């Protein structure tokens, strides 16, 4: 492309994750630009939800083997073929990403710009192409869907030691003997699960007093207890010094604020993610941002600049793919129905953490209700008290239901086997505004299947005697 010309398009989408789904049949016969500086498909496909779960599953299998003797089945793990796992995952994902790029490059009405976009005006962009050139794009409408990226704390950056984030750690060649994970959120704990259950010693260092502390207090507390039986968990602890280790290439030695040392570990930084706005020069377009740098959007996905929209991690307070997908569906409609705008419905955003035990939740936590001064009833039902829990000899799982005094559901929190599946009927019930009694008694629950733990929790919040 000639640096002197400007391409005019009907729609420009910056980011090929959830933004990629905006190219609906409504755009046939029009011009759409997709601008992507990295791998096509965004975080979820390339370095997030999807590949992590493809590592989590083998980890669960390995854990199941190690736990088998509890059930009268003596078994053992002979070995873990890390490269085979890795190559299976990326052998599947990389071609999908490549295919998505090709599809846009060769699309009848799409142009893929492979490079970094920055605003030069309200609806004008300059793209620093990966191959060295520059493109200028003027669009009737622009959607910013650049997502988020891993944040790396100064102590790591400044130490100069080799480290990984979720962007790179899934592609390592060999499992290290030990992993030092900094962070206590869902990314830190999912990777701790993967590495520990594949046989790596895991030390996890977190600043807070509990892991997953954004979750309901009972969940965070009980998860932290369970995690302590699996990993070396250091709470209220910081990494104070990092040095290259003599134990092997790419490994580090660390001094912690509790005066202990961790030696010969692969360093994995999971200290949060920030919206990817640095290159965009949002001020050049006058696009308003929150204090945490997220783009400000209204309930329709509109930024402060007419014709410019944003969705997903770059603007959402939820860093969740299903939220981004929802926002993309709403924005896809709104882009072509300016006189009939739809709104985001984020009243009940569910989330899961694919750890062992697994966690899923929807609606308010008990702490949020306390803080808001909302009255509630609560019931905690143990997996161990329903028949399927007996079959699993379960000792850790539970389902917690919070409901208003009139029975209306406020929040449901599940920790245990397949929590991410068990929680789904509660998501529907919350969205429909059902009471605990309507949800429990408005349907049959297969006996003796695991959802009985949710049924019983719902009944328990109806009648605290239960």
User: Minimum distance between the CB of residue 21 and its own copies, rounded to whole angstroms?
Assistant: 13
Q: Annotated binding residue at 188?
A: yes
Q: Which is nearer to its own copies, 12 or 330 (CB)?
A: 330
Contact between 172 and 298 (Cβ < 8 Å): no
Q: Annotated binding residue at 187?
A: yes
218 Cα distance to chain centroid: 21
Q: SS3 letters for 81-120?
A: CHHHHHHHHHHHHHHHHHHHHHHHHCCCCEEEEEEEEEEE
Crossing angle of the two packed helices 186-197 and 49-67, in degrees rounded to 10:
40
User: Minimum distance between the CB of residue 217 and its own copies, rounded to whole angstroms?
Assistant: 21
User: Minimum distance between the CB of residue 321 and its own copies, rounded to whole angstroms?
Assistant: 4
User: Minimum distance between the CB of residue 215 and its own copies, rounded to whole angstroms?
Assistant: 14
In the annotation, is 447 catalytic? Answer: yes
55-72 residues labelled b (16+ CB within 10 A) or e (exposed): bbebbbebbeeeeeeeee
User: Minimum distance between the CB of residue 91 and its own copies, rounded to whole angstroms?
Assistant: 11
Q: Which is nearer to its own copies, 245 or 456 (CB)?
A: 456
Of 8, 76, 193, 447, catalytic? 447
Distance CA(304)–CA(315), nearest Å, equals 12
Q: Annotated binding residue at 184?
A: yes
Q: Which is nearer to its own copies, 37 or 365 (CB)?
A: 365
Q: Which of 170, 116, 153, 122 is nearest to 274 (CA)?
A: 153
Q: Which is nearer to its own copies, 257 or 420 (CB)?
A: 420
Q: Annotated binding residue at 313?
A: yes
Q: Which is nearer to its own copies, 198 or 308 (CB)?
A: 198
Q: Annotated binding residue at 146?
A: yes
Contacts of 116 (CB under 8 A, 6+ apart): 37, 127, 128, 279
User: Minimum distance between the CB of residue 291 and its own copies, rounded to whole angstroms?
Assistant: 27
The phi, psi pair for 123, rounded to 5°, reads: -135, 35
Q: Which is nearer to its own copies, 228 or 447 (CB)?
A: 447
Q: Annotated binding residue at 383?
A: no
Q: Annotated binding residue at 37?
A: no
Q: C-alpha dihedral over 204, 208, 214, 219, to 10 degrees?
A: 70
Ramachandran class of 135: left when φ > 0, alpha when ψ lies in -120 to 50, beta otherwise: beta
User: Could you tell me how many residues make up the chain?
Assistant: 466
CA distances from 381 to 85, 177, 220, 455 (A): 36, 38, 16, 9
Instruction: Give the annotated binding-site residues for FAD.
Output: 53, 146-148, 313
Q: Which residues have a catalytic role annotated?
A: 447
Instruction: Give the annotated binding-site residues for NAD(+).
Output: 183-190, 272
Instruction: Give the annotated binding-site residues.
Output: 53, 146-148, 183-190, 272, 313
């Amino acid at each position: 492309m000639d640096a002197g010309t400007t391409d005019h398009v009907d729609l420009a989408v910056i980011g090929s994750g959830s933004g990629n789904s905006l190219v609906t049949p409504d755009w046939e016969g029009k011009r759409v630009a997709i601008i992507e500086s990295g791998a096509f498909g965004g975080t979820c496909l390339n370095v997030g939800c999807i590949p992590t779960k493809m590592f989590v599953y083998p980890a669960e299998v390995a854990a199941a083997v190690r736990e088998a003797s509890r059930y009268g089945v003596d078994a053992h793990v002979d070995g873990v073929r890390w490269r085979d796992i890795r190559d299976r995952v990326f052998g599947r994902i990389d071609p999908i990403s490549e295919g998505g790029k090709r599809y846009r490059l060769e699309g009848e009405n799409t142009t893929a710009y492979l490079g970094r976009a920055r605003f030069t005006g309200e609806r004008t962009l300059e793209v620093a192409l990966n191959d060295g050139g520059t493109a200028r794009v003027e669009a009737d409408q622009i959607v910013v869907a650049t997502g988020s990226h891993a944040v790396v704390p100064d102590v790591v950056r400044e130490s100069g030691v080799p480290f990984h984030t979720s962007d790179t750690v899934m592609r390592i060649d060999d499992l290290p003997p030990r992993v030092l994970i900094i962070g206590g959120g869902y990314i830190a704990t999912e990777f701790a699960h993967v590495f520990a259950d594949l046989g790596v010693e895991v030390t996890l260092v977190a600043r807070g007093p509990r892991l997953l502390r954004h979750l309901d207090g009972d969940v965070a507390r009980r998860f932290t207890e369970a995690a302590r039986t699996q990993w070396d968990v250091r709470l209220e602890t910081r990494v104070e010094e990092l040095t290259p280790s003599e134990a092997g290439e790419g490994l580090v030695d660390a001094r912690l604020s509790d005066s202990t040392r961790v030696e010969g570990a692969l360093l994995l930084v999971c200290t949060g993610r920030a919206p990817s706005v640095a290159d965009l020069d949002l001020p050049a377009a006058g696009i308003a941002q929150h204090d945490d740098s997220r783009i400000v959007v209204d309930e329709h996905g509109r930024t402060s600049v007419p014709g410019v929209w944003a969705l997903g991690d770059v603007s959402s307070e939820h860093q969740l793919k299903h939220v981004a997908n929802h926002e993309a569906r709403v924005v896809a409609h709104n882009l072509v129905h300016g006189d009939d705008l739809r709104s985001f419905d984020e009243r009940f955003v569910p989330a899961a953490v694919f750890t062992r035990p697994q966690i899923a939740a929807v609606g308010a936590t008990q702490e949020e209700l306390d803080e808001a001064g909302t009255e509630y009833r609560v019931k905690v039902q143990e997996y161990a008290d329903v028949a399927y829990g007996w079959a699993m000899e379960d000792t850790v799982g539970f389902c917690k239901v919070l409901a208003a005094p009139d029975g209306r559901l406020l929040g449901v929190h599940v920790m245990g086997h397949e929590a991410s599946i068990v929680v789904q009927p509660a998501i529907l019930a919350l969205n429909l505004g059902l009471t605990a009694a309507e949800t429990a008694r408005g349907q049959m629950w297969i006996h003796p299947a695991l959802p009985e733990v949710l049924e019983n929790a719902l009944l328990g919040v109806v009648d605290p005697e239960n």
